[in-house]
Amino acid sequence: MLGLMQSQGLMISSILTHAARHHGAAEVVSRTHENTTHRYTWAGVERRSRRLVKVLLAHGVERQDRVGTLAWNGYRHLEVYYASSGMEAIVHTINPRLHPDDIAYIINHAADKILFVDLSFAPLISLIAARIADTVKTVVMLTDTANMPEVTLAPGMTLACYEQLMDAADEDYVWPRFDENTAASLCYTSGTTGRPKGVLYSHRSTWLHAYAVSMPDVLDIRATSRILPVVPMFHVNAWGTPYATALAGAALILPGRHLDGASMAGLLNAERVTFTSGVPTVWLGLLQHLRSSGQRLETVTRIMTGGSAAPPLLIEAFRDEYGIRFEQGWGMTELSPVGTFNAPKPAQAGLTRDEAARHMLKQGRILPGLDMKIVDGDGRELPWDGVAFGDLKVRGPWVASAYFGEEPGAALDKDGWFATGDVATIDPDGFMEITDRSKDVIKSGGEWISSITLENLAVSHPDVMEAAVIAAAHPKWDERPLLLVVPLPGHTVDPASVLALLEGKVAKWWLPDEVVVVDELPHTATGKLLKTSLRTRYKDHYLKA
């Protein structure tokens, strides 16, 4: 027998209509390309999104067509999000930091019919126009007529101005209802190896993820919160904040393109932001600015970090110098993206300050709705003792089942688990800690060494800004760890002192055979260490020695 409850599909448009109807006056604030501040409300977002649907319809966008965006976090980008998904098309956010070849590939692979582009990316569009001309018919610049840039398109493509199109449209539109499993948005993983792959989110997965991240032990989003996602809307939907803030009726502050420490501190204070989210490099920049300028953050109480391991320095510096909780989450494009969050259980109540800081290095507990496990090389589940580490697998309603263009289930094992490509431990309280990417773990004499553990220790050295540990081939042990460090500006690093700092903190055989000081380390388009290129460069380091 079925339950006798209304079954109302989870539509992304109803997130927006909820915000407009029940939190109509809540603010959406954007820092624009010209560095001015644009303010309106969730009611305004809903009205303008309806107007934008009329623009999309006028340009021949049909159900399930892909609508591409190349844009910073801003209100027009937000309107493209809601209008495209709401009318049953698919918003495809493109990461502008990828190589232009990859961007052209992604646009063609996704078959984007129309592109919405921020002024910063006008030169990029001119560069790739000829390569995307068979796919993209219209390029709409996200600006007004006064600021239209020069863009060279290929024959057959049309250039348009967002505000001009909006002025010519009306708002006479009723949001449709359809199956909640319908595709709503598309995001490609940055593909550190091989071609980028598309993850296709549904209305249902987006709703459930937005609910889960809003919970008190995750982002704790309230109507009184003022939330600034530094994490870009062009990659994994800014960790779901554009949806979760609307559900709660929170104020949403969109920072545009200036993400340096000084701009961030200014905006966080000016807009009385209470919570902000982003990757560690952004927080390093912010911390450096705060320390050198003496400026304080007046209203921020919590910072969420994710995307790569949280450096211990940041956890302690924000807590001890600024009284701000620096909290870590873990996830990936295939998980919408948030999978775990580190919020304490009663068992953590008695931790000393040092123990608490150490505990915050863990990536955290699984969000309710998902499940996780760690397995050994033969697929056998490993114990949750905080010591055994193995391949991390997850499953749940906001985990990808296949990549765009594949059959459903193609990315899963026979029991429905998705292999994350991360290697992790899980402690008895259910806190997961990433010890490596599967492809980065160092296999020395048949035993595994965690590169991330060594990197975390190395960056606690007073002269080290960034560190990378990679596997270098070794005649006796197959692989041995090699540690590369970048000095802090104005500092020099004594390699022996880095090794001395590691000694006693890890097993002796984990200690890198050598520390190499370098000027900089390569990064991916999403700010992660690009270890593939380091491995190519240094794999024979110990063989040559």
Considering only residues 380 to 439 of the shown chain, the ones binding ligand ADP according to CB under 6 A are 420-422, 434, 437
Q: Are strands 418-426 and 66-70 parallel, antiparallel or unpaired?
A: unpaired
Q: Is 307 in the site for ligand ADP (CB under 6 A)?
A: yes
Query: CB of 248: closest distance to ligand ADP in angstroms?
Result: 23
d(CA 330, CA 60): 39
> Is 250:28 a contact under the CB 8 Å cutoff?
no
Binding test (CB under 6 A) with ligand ADP, winner from 190, 202, 401, 456: 190
**73 counts as binding ligand ADP under rule CB under 6 A:** no
Q: How far apart are CA 165 and CA 54, in angstroms?
A: 9
Span of 138-146, 241-249, 289-297, 303-311 interacting with ligand ADP by CB under 6 A: 303-311
Residue 159 in tokens? 């250039």
| Helices 312-322 + 280-293 axis angle, to 10 | 40
368 phi/psi in degrees, rounded to 5: -60, 135
Lay out the site mask for ligand ADP across 75-114 (x = CB under 6 A, - = otherwise).
----------------------------------------
Which residues of 332-463 form beta strands (DSSP E)? 338-341, 365-366, 371-375, 390-395, 418-426, 432-437, 442-444, 447-449
Residues 6+ positions from 360 with CB-CB distance below 8 Å: 310, 315, 326, 327, 328, 342
* 229 and 74 Cβ atoms separated by less than 8 Å: no
Catalytic residue, candidates 406, 448, 528, 532: 448
Catalytic option among 138, 189, 333, 425: 189
Whichever of 14 and 308 has its CB closer to ligand ADP, that residue is: 308
Per CB under 6 A, which region of 146-154, 285-293, 302-310, 402-410 contacts ligand ADP? 302-310
Element (H, E) at 482: strand 478-487
* Nearest to ligand ADP of 149, 397 (CB atom): 397
Smaller CB separation from ligand ADP, 18 or 523: 523
Nearer to ligand ADP, 131 or 437 (CB): 437
C-alpha dist (Å) from residue 73 to 108, 253, 460: 24, 9, 32
Tell me whether residue 153 is exposed, middle or buried, using C-beta atoms within 10 angstroms of its C-beta: 0 to 12, 13 to 18, 19 or more: middle
Stretch that binds ligand ADP, among 37-45, 134-142, 325-333, 368-376 (CB under 6 A): 325-333
Q: Minimum distance between the CB of residue 504 and ligand ADP, rounded to whole angstroms?
A: 24
Which candidate in 334, 433, 466, 479 is catalytic? 334
Residue type at 245 in one-letter notation: T
Among 333, 435, 450, 456, binds ligand ADP (CB under 6 A): 333
Check residue 280 for interaction with ligand ADP (CB under 6 A).
no
Q: Verify whether residue 443 is a known catalytic residue.
A: yes
CB atoms < 10 A from the CB of 469, how many?
Answer: 29
Q: Does 245 bind ligand ADP (CB under 6 A)?
A: no
- Our CB check for ligand ADP shows the closer of 32 and 95 to be 95
Catalytic residue among 381, 443, 503, 505: 443
Q: Give the span between the Cα atoms of 345 and 350, in whole angstroms.
A: 11
- Interface residue with ligand ADP among 32, 363, 401, 435 (CB under 6 A) is 363
Among 89, 159, 332, 424, binds ligand ADP (CB under 6 A): 332
For the bound state, the minimum distance from the C-beta of residue 192 to ligand ADP, rounded and expressed in Å, comes to 6
Task: Report, in Å, the least distance between residue 169 CB and ligand ADP.
Answer: 34
Q: Across-strand partners of 185?
A: 91, 201
Smallest gap from residue 391 Cβ to ligand ADP (A): 11
Across 238-337, the runs of DSSP E, i.e. the strands, are: 251-254, 275-278, 302-305, 325-331
Long-range contacts of 378-381 (CB under 8 A, 24+ apart): 379/413
| Angle between helical axes of 280-293 and 261-270 (0-180°, round to 10) | 80
* DSSP secondary structure, 507-518, as one string: -GGGS-SEEEE-
In angstroms, give the least distance from the CB of 420 to ligand ADP: 5
Q: Which of 242, 306, 481, 512 binds ligand ADP (CB under 6 A)?
A: 306
Per-residue contact track with ligand ADP, 160 to 189, x per CB under 6 A? -----------------------------x
CB atoms within 10 A of CB 529: 24
- Residue 328 within binding range of ligand ADP, rule CB under 6 A: yes
Phi, psi of 224 (to 5 degrees): -90, -5
* Closer CB to ligand ADP, 261 or 337, in the complex: 337
Cβ 468 to ligand ADP shortest distance, Å: 14
- CB closer to ligand ADP out of 61 and 366: 366
500-529 residues in contact with ligand ADP (CB under 6 A) are 524, 526, 528
| Count of residues that bind ligand ADP according to CB under 6 A | 23
Residues 6+ apart with CB under 8 A from 329: 218, 239, 304, 305, 306, 338, 339, 340, 341, 342, 363, 364
Closer CB to ligand ADP, 112 or 433, in the complex = 433
Q: List for the chain the helix, strand, coil content (%; round to 5).
A: 35, 25, 40
For the packed helices 241-248 and 12-22, what is the interaxial angle rounded to 10 degrees? 40
Of 165, 244, 267, 309, the one binding ligand ADP (CB under 6 A) is 309
Interacting stretch for ligand ADP, rule CB under 6 A, among 73-81, 134-142, 255-263, 323-331?
Answer: 323-331
We find the least distance from the C-beta atom of residue 102 to ligand ADP, in angstroms, to be 11
Least gap, CB of 307 to ligand ADP (angstroms): 5
Are 50 and 79 in contact by the 8 Å Cβ rule? The answer is no
Distance CA 15, CA 223 (A): 14
Catalytic (active site) residue 189: yes
Instruction: Using CB under 6 A, list all residues that contact ligand ADP.
Output: 189-190, 192, 236, 306-309, 328, 330-333, 337, 363, 420-422, 434, 437, 524, 526, 528
Catalytic center residues: 189, 334, 443, 448
